[in-house]
Each structure stands twice: as structure tokens, then as C-alpha cells.
Amino acid sequence: MATVSNEDKAKIAQGMEREGIVDYDKITIGAAIQVLEDWFDGDKLVVSGLIDAAISPDNLTNSQKKKIAGYWMIRKAKRELL
């Protein structure tokens, strides 16, 4: 389980507060952020394997998969959240 730094939690909470998204205490926001961090870290290997299966017999390096996932997450967030 990766631990989100207090600095990262504070930056995320500040951004949410600035946008008027969530009006909860820091402990609640911090716990929610930690759950997301754990989910993301836990699913990395699953997603990597699913990509491998989907593109077989072709392959991508882990670096390429990370870049694809990063761009996808940014686009998804813009469409769904922002």
C-alpha cells in the first residue's frame, strides 16, 4: 500500500476547496485520497496484463503502457470531472 504524502493530500484538498467541490474535513478527504491511491497501485498489474492480452501478439514496454494510461487518465478526467 503506497502512502500519499501529507503534502500531496493538502494540495489535492486545497484544489478541491478552491473549486468548491468538497466541503469535508482534511481527515475525510485524506482517507478518500488514500483509497484511490491504493486502488490505482493495486490495479496497475491487472491493467498491464489486460493490455498485453488485448494487443497480443504485439507488445508494449511498461514505459509505453504507463504513458498511454497517463494520457487516457487525463482525457478521462477532462471529460468526466472537469
Asked if 33 and 53 touch (Cβ cutoff 8 Å), the reply is no
The confidence score (pLDDT) of residue 56 equals 92
> Residue 9: its pLDDT value, please?
80
Average pLDDT value for residue range 66-77: 89
Dmax over CA atoms of the chain, in Å, equals: 49
pLDDT in the model for residue 19:
78
Which of residues 1 and 65 earns the better pLDDT score? 65
Helix and strand numbers, DSSP H then E, in the chain? 3, 0
At 14-62, the pLDDT tens digits run 887 787 776 667 788 788 888 888 888 888 888 889 999 999 999 999 9
Domain residue limits, the chain: 6-80
